[in-house]
Amino acid sequence: MRLQDKVAVVVGGGSDLATATGKKFISEGAAVILVHHNQASLDRVLPSYGDSSVETFIADVRNLDQLQETINTVEQRRGKIDVMVNCAGIINHKPIDELSSDDWLSVIDVNLTGAFNACKAVTLAMKAANSGRIINVASLGGRTGRPGVGVNYAASKAGMIGLTQTLARELAPWKITVNAVAPGPLKGRMFFGMDQDLIDQLQSNIPLGRIGKLDEVAGAILFLASEDAAWITGEVLDINGGLFI
């Protein structure tokens, strides 16, 4: 039970990866709090938790005051926040000549500013406890130029990696670790909506020969949230079946 009696907040808690992560955290003894910007997404994933108890909140990562109020409420009710996983993210791919300023900002606001807000919102609670784990979900698209990603998404995830590495150094005196995972293609809802030709193309470029499973990334997040990773900070863990440049 690597997270026994730990309190874990999962931001973007209505996503597929957040669900896989939340279920794995619960299996390891954590109390899980899901934060998402709408109730419909939470209602969609809650049945997959079965009899496991999770607490939910509605908050938009683009709104720091709203997110901070939610985090403060969690801390007051639970007495602490041990882990924060930032799974909030969107993609809106268009070629740059078709990408509007609104298209650019909509992705940056959620993926990068949202990550900043989530990290900032939990910092005071973790500093007070002189411990904490922050795990941001970046992407292979933020590590290398990838087709089908878009400059807005790539820039947002690359920025998240820079945020992670700098914040790791800044928060180290309080024994707070800050790391990121950078997944490649995964079998989530977006995957199952793809044409088979695109799936075949993706798989053909992966040395291990298959698309990743959500649970495999969730396992890496669990590791970074646990005491097994107590001496790891500022790292970006690539999880992509060997798919690099």
List active site positions: 153
Query: Do 142 and 182 contact (CB within 8 A), yes or no?
Result: yes
Burial of 89 (0-12, 13-18, 19+ CB in 10 A): buried
Q: For residue 226, how far is the Cα from the chain centroid?
A: 16
Euclidean distance between CA atoms 234 and 218, whole angstroms:
18
Of 182, 232, 234, which Cα lies nearest the Cα of 212? 182
User: How many angstroms separate the CA atoms of 109 and 88, rounded?
Assistant: 11
Strand partners, 85: 10, 135
Q: CA 166 to CA 146: how far, in whole Å? A: 24
Determine the length of the chain. 245
Query: Two tokens at 12?
Result: 């973007």
Segment (H or E) for 230: none
d(C-alpha 221, C-alpha 200), whole Å: 27
